[in-house]
Amino acid sequence: MEAPSRQRTSSSSANTKQWQTGQQLEQLVLLYWALSAILGGVFLYDWITAWNVGATLGNPWLVASLVSTWLLSQIVYMLVARHDDRPFRWKPTVLFALGNGICETFAFALVYRLGSVIGVTLMSLFLVQFADITGFLVGSLFFVIYGGLIHGLFWIKLLPPHFDDSPQSRRLRRFRPLIETALVLSWTLCFWLYNDIWTVAGFHILVDFVLMFRVRPPLFAGLGR
Residue 83 has pLDDT above 70, yes or no: yes
Q: How does DSSP classify residue 151?
A: I
More confident residue, 3 or 121: 121
- pLDDT value, residue 184: 97
Per-residue pLDDT at 218 exceeds 50:
yes
**Percentage above 70 pLDDT, the chain:** 90
Per-residue confidence (pLDDT) for residue 2, from 0 to 100 = 41
CB 71 within 8 A of CB 150: no
The count of other CB atoms within 10 Å of the CB of residue 79 is: 14
Mean pLDDT across 187-213: 98
Distance CA 134, CA 219 (A): 39
Residue 13 pLDDT greater than 70, yes or no: no
Q: Looking at the predicted structure, is the pLDDT value of residue 17 above 60?
A: no
Q: pLDDT grade, residue 3 (50/70/90)?
A: very low
Q: Is residue 83 part of a domain?
A: yes
Q: Considering Cα of 10, then 11, then 16, then 20, what sign does the dihedral take?
A: positive
Whether residue 153 lies inside any domain: the answer is yes
Let me know: does 220 contact 92? Beta carbons within 8 Å: yes
pLDDT in tens, 145-179: 999 999 999 998 889 888 988 888 889 999 999 99
Total tally of structural domains belonging to the chain: 1
User: Would you say residue 6 has pLDDT above 70?
Assistant: no
Distance CA 86, CA 13 (A): 22
Rounded Cα distance between 139 and 95, Å, is 29
What is the spatial distance between Cα 37 and Cα 47, in angstroms, rounded to a whole number?
Answer: 13
Residue 102 contacts residue 198 (beta carbons within 8 Å): no
Report yes or no on 12 lying in a domain: no
pLDDT tens digit sequence for 47-79: 999 999 999 999 999 999 999 999 999 999 999
Report, as an integer, the average pLDDT of 95-112.
98
Residue 206, in any domain of the structure: yes
Per-residue confidence (pLDDT) for residue 22, from 0 to 100: 66
Domain that holds residue 104: 26-220
Structural domain contains residue 166: yes
Reply yes or no on whether the pLDDT at 33 is more than 80.
yes
- Comparison of pLDDT for 124 and 11, the residue scoring more: 124
Q: Is the pLDDT of residue 180 over 80?
A: yes
| 3 domain-assigned | no
Distances (CA, A) of 120 to 105, 133, 142, 208: 22, 8, 13, 32
User: Given this model, what pLDDT does residue 4 score?
Assistant: 43
Residue 146 domain flag? yes
Residue 57 lies in a domain: yes
What rounded mean pLDDT belongs to the chain? 90
